[in-house]
């Protein structure tokens, strides 16, 4: 049985439906709850429940809403994330009036990165470091990321109970040594999958400066 809680919403998942209902009834005795069996929507995401037990987690509606709010629902498709060489060719210009808008967009995209778009975690992490004083370069990178999300909006997670086994939990981790040229900090990341699909991931800049690749792996 797995219980996931996000503010005042939650998700309860398990193999035995009777035990799940019993747990909810006991919880409802102390708390006033409203629950739905096999929900189709949850915090912006859509769920498709197949008769064979397969569950599809789809973020397409959330991505399209994000694009529309940013006036980019008709933008050009981009199949790759922003190249660093493109940003180097631009002259940095700040527009303080747009700082709040940039921070809002970063927050929205970070929500996607934390739940269904693990492959943009590094890019979102990099952009969020400039959220206080973004320049036109960061806006170009942000808009490019939104265009990339539009292309990949149909991608989704699917969980099939026939392929789920206890030993199907796999963890991966890696560190890039001193890839931040100015600060010399390392970037670390990890990924944990269950039934092939990612269930937990992380990308962040380390606070300490390692003296070697070996040290970067252990810090």
pLDDT tens-digit readout, 115-144: 888 888 888 888 888 888 888 888 888 888
Residue 203: alpha-carbon gap to chain centroid: 10
Domain count, the chain: 2
Cα(64)–Cα(150) distance, integer angstroms: 7
Contact 179, 147 (CB under 8 A): no
Q: How confident is the model at residue 103 (pLDDT cuts 50, 70, 90)?
A: very high
pLDDT at 194 over 60: yes
Mean predicted lDDT score pLDDT of the chain? 81
Same domain, residue pair 178 and 214: yes
- What lies within 8 Å, CB to CB, of 60 at 6+ separation is 46, 153, 154, 156
Same domain, residue pair 172 and 146: no
Whether 65 is in a domain gets the answer: no
Higher-confidence residue of 29 and 21: namely 21
Same domain, residue pair 191 and 125: no
What's residue 21's pLDDT? 87
pLDDT at 56 over 80: yes
Cα(5)–Cα(35) distance, integer angstroms: 13
Over residues 141-168, mean pLDDT: 80
Whether 135 is in a domain gets the answer: yes
Question: End of a domain among 151, 186, 211?
Answer: 151
Cα(146)–Cα(174) distance, integer angstroms: 26
pLDDT at 92 over 80: no
- Among 26-30, 122-126, 194-198, 215-219, the minimum mean pLDDT is found in 215-219
Same domain, residue pair 131 and 180: no
pLDDT at 85 over 80: no
Structural domain boundaries, residue 205: 167-219
Same domain, residue pair 82 and 138: yes
CB atoms within 10 A of CB 4: 10
Same domain, residue pair 142 and 83: yes
Same domain, residue pair 84 and 138: yes
Whether 26 is in a domain gets the answer: no
Same domain, residue pair 82 and 147: yes
Helix and strand totals (H; E) in the chain: 7, 9
pLDDT at 90 over 60: no
């Amino acid at each position: 049985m797995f219980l996931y809680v996000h503010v005042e919403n939650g998700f309860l998942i398990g193999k035995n439906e009777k035990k799940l209902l019993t747990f909810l009834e006991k919880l409802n005795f102390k708390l006033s709850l409203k629950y739905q069996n096999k929900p189709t929507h949850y915090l912006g995401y859509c769920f498709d429940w197949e008769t064979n037990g397969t569950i599809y987690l789809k973020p397409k509606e959330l991505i399209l809403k994000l694009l529309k709010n940013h006036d980019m629902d008709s933008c050009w498709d981009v199949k790759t994330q922003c190249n660093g060489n493109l940003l180097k060719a631009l002259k940095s210009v700040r527009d303080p009036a747009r700082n709040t808008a940039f921070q809002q967009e970063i927050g929205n995209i970070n929500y996607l990165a934390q739940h269904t778009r693990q492959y943009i975690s590094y890019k979102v992490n990099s952009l969020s470091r400039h959220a206080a004083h973004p320049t036109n370069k960061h806006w170009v990178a942000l808009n490019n990321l939104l265009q990339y999300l539009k292309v990949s909006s149909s991608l989704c997670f699917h969980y099939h109970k026939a392929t789920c086994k206890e030993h199907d939990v796999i963890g991966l981790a890696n560190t890039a040594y001193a890839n931040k040229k100015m600060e010399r900090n390392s970037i670390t990341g990890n990924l944990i999958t269950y039934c092939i699909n990612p269930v937990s991931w992380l990308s962040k800049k380390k606070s300490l400066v390692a003296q070697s690749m070996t040290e970067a792996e252990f810090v």
